């Protein structure tokens, strides 16, 4: 049980981010300093800019090793559709020695409780930033993998229960906007000086939150780091059920050892940037379909890898396709994206209801039912299963095996039409953010096992068009892909991940240093390595000679290659376009111009 809980905690950590009444402060004289009043004097202050009908409380306490800890609680009743009010918790930590800047740290999955940070545990607080976090509008719910708070549990209501629209707004966009507004107000009050620069630091849900801020409230933050962004939440949560439905409809639940066979073979046959086979590879430059089909007939401890197994894996890689027939899941209209080849499909199984419905911590998790040697059964990813039960169906007795082919497409439509207004952060036109002087770095791993990397590729393809071409877009917004890196991955064994991308955002905002590459590091076969991650749509950096473990031995190419995110393996130039099912949103042809630094 300890191992199970540890795995669950790891998934939440992976899914987490690092967790407009006030215009952005402009650079000027130094705003650094010490508090202008006692911490306790912040308690009870009235907050500006609250939505109509909302109320708030503020309590402040000085804590050694942290600073002034300010707890803000906002009761949100602003949505006329009603339901139970949102309870937005914001924890703001104000250091005794302030560097003049503010940073908000994003959440993960459905957002767990906000927390205060310490000098020992948060590098940005230790560097002098005022730091805030929010619970996204549902104070008191500790499990970030599930969302029981969205259902109106008012006992006076009769089934079917309604939805808490205030809490949907808060989770979708409002809580972190109010976090920015009220945190900057308190900072100004405490230090008698406005924050000189404001930064957003997030990954996964935190990445979506950062994009939402840049789109909806472009003056809230000067700089945004959006890692592995869950940008089309209301649609990818439905698409996350696709691997389980593919296995169910095909009558072929993949065992973990067959899934492992696929990935270990890819690692053994696909080459790294330096031409070596070392387990780190870019699936866009490897013939992954050939490798997959070569496995047919291979013996494993779980049985022979069959042609059906290969077809199921390919259908998981390709993502949802609308063919008109449940017997044909491989061809048809590409509706959404699939897992990148090489991303972990299996995950861990945690029997419900320990952490939530479904029990899977991966998108294609299976388990023996009954254990230990019963037939394989699917275990849907817990947050996705929760999304179907609570948000789409409002029926906690629903199980994925009830889902028919055509019902799945109807649910895809319903999810987008009902929740897109709050949950999607997919408007590629960030011209207002650019005019405000904002800078944005977006990045994602090419072995992301939870959020489809194709979504962010497609989004940036659209952004190039929407913002006047590549050169114009890269003046304020750059996007990077990290081969072999899992969801919100950090530098480590087999993970050559961004080393400190937040610092590169800061350097761009404060010093005008646009990142020609994102600095990455990790270990390969026990050897420390550094690499440059080139800005998309440039291909991976090319090895030009010297020590292959040093970033200086690689050079970014001055070439453009737009990827087709619906096509596993080598994609070449883009063909086709992104289609957001239920919204008819497509990408027209666009003009590309090279970046000029």
Mean of pLDDT over the chain: 90
Which residues on neighbouring strands pair with residue 479, listed in sequence order?
Answer: 442
Same domain for 12 and 132, yes or no, is yes
Asked if residue 555 is part of any domain, the answer here is: no
Same domain for 393 and 426, yes or no, is yes
- The Cα 257–Cα 359 span in angstroms is 19
Same domain for 201 and 241, yes or no, is no
Q: At what angle do helices 175-191 and 205-216 cross, to 10 degrees?
A: 80
Residue 31 has pLDDT above 50, yes or no: no
Which of 221, 247, 280 is a domain's end point? 221
Do 566 and 337 meet the contact criterion of CB atoms below 8 Å apart?
yes
Residue 286, phi then psi, degrees to nearest 5? -125, 140
Same domain for 160 and 247, yes or no, is no
CA dihedral 465, 468, 470, 471 (to 10 degrees): 180
Same domain for 383 and 458, yes or no, is yes
Do 98 and 92 meet the contact criterion of CB atoms below 8 Å apart?
no
Asked if residue 368 is part of any domain, the answer here is: yes
Do 47 and 72 meet the contact criterion of CB atoms below 8 Å apart?
yes
For the ranges 2-11, 162-171, 209-218, 219-228, the lowest mean pLDDT is seen at 2-11
Q: What is the mean pLDDT of residues 88-110?
A: 97
Asked if residue 243 is part of any domain, the answer here is: yes
- The Cα 335–Cα 228 span in angstroms is 20
Residue 280 has pLDDT above 70, yes or no: yes
- The Cα 554–Cα 38 span in angstroms is 52
- CA R_g for the chain: 24
| Of 137, 113, 133, residue with least CA distance to 122 | 133
Do 528 and 550 meet the contact criterion of CB atoms below 8 Å apart?
no
Confidence bin at 401 (pLDDT 50/70/90): very high
**In terms of pLDDT, which residue wins out, 584 or 463?**
463
Structure tokens at 423: 């949950």
Asked if residue 365 is part of any domain, the answer here is: yes
Same domain for 160 and 297, yes or no, is no
Same domain for 170 and 306, yes or no, is no
Q: What is the mean pLDDT of residues 237-266?
A: 97
Domain total in the chain? 2
Asked if residue 503 is part of any domain, the answer here is: no
- To which residue do tokens 């004289």 refer? 29
Asked if residue 317 is part of any domain, the answer here is: yes
| C-alpha angle 24-30-36 in degrees, rounded to nearest 5 | 90
- The Cα 272–Cα 267 span in angstroms is 9
- To which residue do tokens 């200086």 refer? 552
Structure tokens at 484: 């072999």
pLDDT digits (tens, 9 = 90+) for 348-385: 999 999 999 999 999 999 999 998 889 999 999 999 99
- What local confidence, expressed as pLDDT, does residue 157 receive? 64
Q: What are the CA-CA distances from residue 147 to residues 109, 142, 215, 357, 386 (Å)?
A: 10, 10, 25, 11, 7
pTM flag (> 0.85):
yes
Which of 221, 240, 275 is a domain's end point? 221
Q: What DSSP character marks residue 536? A: T
Do 344 and 449 meet the contact criterion of CB atoms below 8 Å apart?
yes
- The Cα 206–Cα 202 span in angstroms is 4
Same domain for 258 and 362, yes or no, is yes
Beta sheet of 101-105, edge-to-edge order: 55-63, 67-76, 86-94, 130-134, 101-105, 197-203, 223-227, 439-445, 477-482
Q: In the chain, count of helices (H) and strands (E)?
A: 16, 20
Asked if residue 411 is part of any domain, the answer here is: yes
Same domain for 93 and 192, yes or no, is yes
Beta-strand relationship, 439-445 and 223-227: parallel
- The Cα 494–Cα 525 span in angstroms is 7
Same domain for 240 and 323, yes or no, is yes
- What local confidence, expressed as pLDDT, does residue 159 receive? 57
Which of 169, 189, 221 is a domain's end point? 221
Confidence bin at 569 (pLDDT 50/70/90): confident
Which residue range(s) make up the domain with 374?
A: 231-477+563-597
Cis (ω within 30 of 0) for the bond into 537?
A: yes
- The Cα 127–Cα 67 span in angstroms is 13
Same domain for 239 and 203, yes or no, is no
Asked if residue 533 is part of any domain, the answer here is: no
Same domain for 296 and 181, yes or no, is no
Residue 28 has pLDDT above 90, yes or no: no
């Amino acid at each position: 049980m300890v191992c199970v809980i540890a795995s669950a905690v790891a998934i939440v950590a992976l899914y987490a981010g690092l967790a407009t009444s006030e215009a952005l402060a402009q650079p000027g004289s130094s705003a650094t300093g010490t508090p202008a009043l006692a911490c306790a004097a912040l308690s009870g202050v009235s907050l500006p800019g609250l939505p109509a009908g909302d109320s708030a409380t503020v309590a402040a306490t000085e804590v050694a090793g942290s600073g002034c800890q300010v707890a803000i609680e906002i009761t949100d009743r602003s949505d006329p559709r009603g339901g139970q009010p949102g309870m937005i918790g914001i924890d703001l930590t104000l250091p005794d020695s302030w560097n003049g800047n503010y940073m908000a740290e994003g959440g993960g999955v459905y957002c767990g409780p906000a927390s205060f940070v310490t000098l020992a545990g948060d590098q940005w607080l230790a560097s002098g930033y005022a730091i805030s976090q929010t619970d996204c509008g549902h104070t008191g719910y500790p499990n970030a993998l599930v969302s029981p708070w969205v259902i109106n549990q008012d006992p006076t209501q009769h089934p079917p229960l309604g939805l808490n629209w205030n809490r949907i707004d808060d989770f979708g966009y409002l809580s972190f906007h109010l976090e920015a507004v009220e945190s900057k107000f308190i900072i100004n009050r405490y230090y008698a000086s406005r924050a000189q620069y404001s930064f957003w630091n997030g990954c996964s849900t935190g990445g979506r939150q950062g994009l939402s801020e840049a789109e909806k409230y472009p003056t809230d933050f000067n700089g945004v780091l959006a890692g592995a962004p869950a940008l089309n939440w209301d649609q990818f949560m439905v698409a996350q059920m696709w691997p389980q439905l593919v296995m169910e409809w095909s009558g072929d639940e993949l065992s973990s050892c067959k899934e492992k066979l696929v990935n270990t073979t890819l690692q053994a046959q696909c080459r790294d940037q330096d031409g070596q086979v070392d387990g780190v590879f870019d699936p866009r430059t490897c013939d992954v379909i050939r490798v997959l089909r070569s496995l047919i007939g291979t013996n494993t401890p779980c049985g022979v890898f069959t042609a059906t197994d290969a077809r199921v894996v390919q259908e998981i890689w390709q993502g949802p396709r609308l063919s008109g027939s449940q017997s044909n899941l491989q061809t048809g209209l590409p509706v959404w994206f699939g897992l990148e080849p090489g991303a972990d499909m299996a995950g861990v199984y945690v029997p419900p209801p320990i952490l939530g419905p479904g029990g899977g911590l991966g998108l294609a998790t299976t388990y023996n039912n009954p254990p230990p040697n019963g037939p394989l059964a699917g275990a849907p990813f817990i947050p996705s299963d929760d999304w179907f039960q609570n948000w789409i169906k409002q029926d906690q007795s629903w199980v994925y095996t009830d889902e028919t082919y055509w019902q799945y497409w109807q649910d895809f439509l319903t999810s987008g039409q009902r929740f897109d207004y709050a949950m999607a952060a997919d408007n590629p036109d960030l011209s207002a953010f650019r005019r405000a002087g904002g800078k944005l770095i977006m990045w994602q791993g090419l072995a992301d096992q939870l959020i489809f990397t194709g979504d962010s590729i497609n989004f940036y393809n659209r952004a190039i068009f929407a913002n006047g071409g590549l050169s114009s877009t890269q003046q304020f917004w750059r996007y990077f892909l990290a081969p072999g890196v899992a969801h919100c991955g950090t530098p480590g064994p087999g993970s050559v991940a961004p080393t400190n991308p937040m610092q590169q955002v800061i350097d761009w905002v404060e010093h005008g240093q646009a990142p020609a590459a994102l600095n990455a590091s990790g270990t390969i076969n026990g050897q420390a390595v550094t690499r440059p991650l080139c800005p998309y749509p440039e291909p991976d950096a090319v090895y030009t000679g010297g020590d292959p473990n040093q970033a200086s031995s690689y050079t970014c190419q001055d070439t453009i290659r737009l990827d087709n995110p619906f096509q596993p393996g080598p994609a070449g130039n883009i063909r086709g376009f992104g289609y957001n099912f239920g919204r008819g949103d497509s990408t027209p042809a666009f003009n590309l111009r090279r970046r000029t630094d």
